[in-house]
Structure formats: C-alpha cells, structure tokens
A and B are shown apart, each in its own frame.
Chain A
Amino acid sequence: MARMKFLCDAERCIECNGCVTACKQEHDIPWGVNRRRVVTINDGVPGERSISVACMHCSDAPCMAVCPVDCFYKTEEGVVLHDKDLCIGCGYCFYACPFGAPQFPQTGAFGVRGKMDKCTFCAGGPEANNSEEEFRKYGRNRLAEGKLPACAEMCSTKALLGGDGDVLADIYRQRVTVRGRGGDVWGWATAYGQPGQAPAQAPAKGGKS
C-alpha cells in the first residue's frame, strides 16, 4: 500500500519554478493561487538553497484537526483532501498549517466563495474520478490515471520527488549514497556534521539514545 509523499532535494533544486507552472497548467489554477511555490534561503549569497513546498500531506494533519466543519479526509494512500462543498473558507487550516499550503482564491475558478484550495497530490477530490465536476473543483486526478503529481514528474532537475514514500526513500538514498551527503540544509549539518567534520557532539551523559 502506497503512502504518498513529496521530497525536495535541496542539492538539486535550482528555483526554476517548473513545479509551480506544471501545477498551474495541469489544474488550470487561476492567478493568485499557488498550490506550490519555491522557497529560497540565503538568496544571492553562498549557501543559497531552494526547496519547493506545497501541502506535505501530513500523516496527522493539523488542518484536519482544526477544521470546524470537518471537510478534510485522508485517502488510503495518505493524501489529505477536502470537500469544497463543505468548506466554509474560514482559514483556520491556514493558521494550523506549518507550510502555508492552504490558498484562498479571490475570484473565478476554485474560489467563487473563497473556499480553501490546496495541493491535492494530483488526486482530485470527493467527486467521481476524472469527472468534469472533479476537475472544476479540485483539478486533475492524475493518480486515478496511474500518473504521479505533475510537479514532481516535470521537475527540471528531478529535485522534487513525489510518490510512494517507500520508493522515494530508495531514490533519495541512492543519491545521498553517491554524493556522500544529504541536503546540507534542513538540519543535516546539525545531525551529522559538515562533510569531513565530526557530527554534533552527543550529550555526555543521560542523553536520549
């Protein structure tokens, strides 16, 4: 059984925004809604790194926990989706989400009543698979076509991976093994030390093992 996840390799991401437009194009997403965006740290100086961020499809999703109308559900594959017919657009999920995933459109498609919109892992929503209804409210359902999210499939450097977490782990592990290090950001240095350096020192006594 698949457990869908995204993983963005900061050593590879070149902030080309291919994932952003792949998503917009695939789902016909209007101006002002960015289900996915690229975040850059240390822009323009050594240490510059980017990652592409969308809904992380949390296993214990805060949005689900706080939603006052319980419009969220999680599929068997671990994709967090919601019912726009039920959503009241309150934005509580926006508060709860640590990644800024929920989007609140202004006008036109996806947003007539300001309902929340977010990355669906290209899995549509609670309408018949690949129906017009589903496309109009949630975008394409690539999973039901046997395809993976457009952003990951089109990533220019194959930095962004999307699919079964187990498979992604294999792909990423191979890269890390070949290059001998991970992302060099996101705490890798803290956890393992810089390449060629000793890792951060473990507590002398009584630390967690």
Chain B
Amino acid sequence: MIRSAWVIGVAAAAFALAACGERPQVIQYKQGAYQGKPDQKPYANAPFDGNQQKWDNDLRQRNQAQNEYKRIGS
C-alpha cells in the first residue's frame, strides 16, 4: 500500500512538472506489481471498524445460509 501510494505520488509529481516542460513519451510500468490505487480492507468500515475477526465470523455464519442442510437437516 505504501509502495503504491509512493507510485501515485511520483506520477502526480511527474504530471505536475510535465506542465512546465515536455510531456513524457513513454510510461514506465513496474512489471508484475500492482500499479493502481490502494483499496480498503472489507472490514475497514462500520460495523466492523477494523475488527477482522468479527468480519470473518459474521461471514462464516452467513455462509451457512447457502447450506440448506443447516436449516432443514437431512
């Protein structure tokens, strides 16, 4: 994440400077590493607020809604 923020920072700086001079002709890609924006963890927001364990447990439990044996028995 820090790394990608850094990439964006560099890109922004390059963009800003580009206005003063020549436009860069070639984009430099870092092969194999994600170049996009950072994402948030799915449990970053309310109601989990960073509590990964709660999120994990909630999802595990909710997953059982796809298992009718849980409700019906066999």
Contact = CB atoms under 8 A, between A and B. Distances in A.
A161 B66 contact: yes
A43 interface: no
Given A70-B33, A73-B34, A146-B55, A130 B45 contact: yes
A97 interface: no
Contact of B34 (A70, A125, A167, A175): A70
A86 B34 CA distance: 10
Which size bracket describes the interface of A in this complex? Answer: 35 or more
A144 interface: yes
Contact of A168 (B43, B58, B63, B65): B63
24 contacts: A70-B31, A70-B32, A71-B35, A73-B34, A73-B36, A82-B36, A83-B36, A85-B37, A124-B39, A143-B42, A144-B42, A144-B45, A146-B59, A146-B62, A148-B59, A148-B66, A164-B59, A164-B63, A167-B60, A167-B63, A167-B64, A171-B63, A171-B67, A178-B69
B6 interface: no
Interface string A140-160: 010110111000110100100
Interface in A119-144: 123-130, 141, 143-144
